[in-house]
A = this chain, B = another copy of it.
């Protein structure tokens, strides 16, 4: 596949694909003239990258987790630590979702005045800053707007 084919299939722009290659996140299997050729496996790689990003990993983190050459085997502890981090994030997101849904349904004139909203808020806030135990990196980033 050439770069435009990959772009078409994945929706990831060609410029991004080149950028990813430069960062070592994906690899082309050679050149056809000067044009890159990609193996089909790159599609899975890109899915994985997008997934990692959705989970809040930086490209550097994605890179270290999914080292493409098999040898420098990935750190399993790091992996489960990341999984834990993501689970924490999920809990918070659920709180936000619940809070939003409540706010959408709540008849109170101001959300500040609604006690159950306050409760949700409080619960969600715990672990965001009131308890500053771990220096957890918490929130993902936002790709192409």
A residues in contact (CB < 8 Å) with B: 10-12, 41, 44, 46-48, 50-56, 58, 65-66, 70, 74, 76-77, 79-80, 82-83, 86-87, 89-90, 92-101, 103-105, 109-112, 118, 121-122, 124-125, 128-129, 132, 137-143, 145
Contact = CB atoms under 8 A, between A and B. Distances in A.
A132 to B, nearest CB: 6
Contacts of A139: 53-54, 56, 140-143
| 7 pairs of A and B residues whose beta carbons are closest in the complex | A47-B125, A79-B104, A140-B140, A55-B96, A83-B100, A141-B142, A76-B104
Nearest to A45: B112
* Interface SS of chain A: helix
Copies of this polypeptide in the complex: 2
B97 A86 contact: yes
